[in-house]
Amino acid sequence: MLGIVAAVLFFISFLINAADLSTNDVFSSTNVMLLGLTALALHVAGIGSTWPRRR
């Protein structure tokens, strides 16, 4: 799940950078890319990668 979130954040970062949008400092392409890298690191670490088991 977090891998998909990371892919979406990378795509948004790419769009901000490719369109050369002027955003505030919070939503710059670098910050969105870093959020994507954080989500990807959590996914690789195994957090959020499986559904919880129901008993």
Per-residue pLDDT of the chain (55 residues; tens, 9 = 90+): 778 888 888 888 888 888 877 777 777 778 888 888 988 888 888 877 666 667 6
Q: Where are the alpha helices (DSSP H) in 19-52?
A: 29-44
Question: Does residue 50 fall inside a structural domain?
Answer: no
Alpha-helical runs (H) found in the chain = 2-18, 29-44
Q: Is residue 55 part of a domain?
A: no
Q: Which amino acid is at 21?
A: L
Angle of helix 2-18 versus helix 29-44 axis, rounded to 10: 160
Domain range for residue 14? Answer: 2-44
Q: Is 31 helix (H, G, I), strand (E, B) or coil?
A: helix
How far, CA to CA in Å, does 38 sit from each of 5, 8, 23? Answer: 10, 13, 21
30 in a structural domain: yes
Residue 49 lies in a domain: no
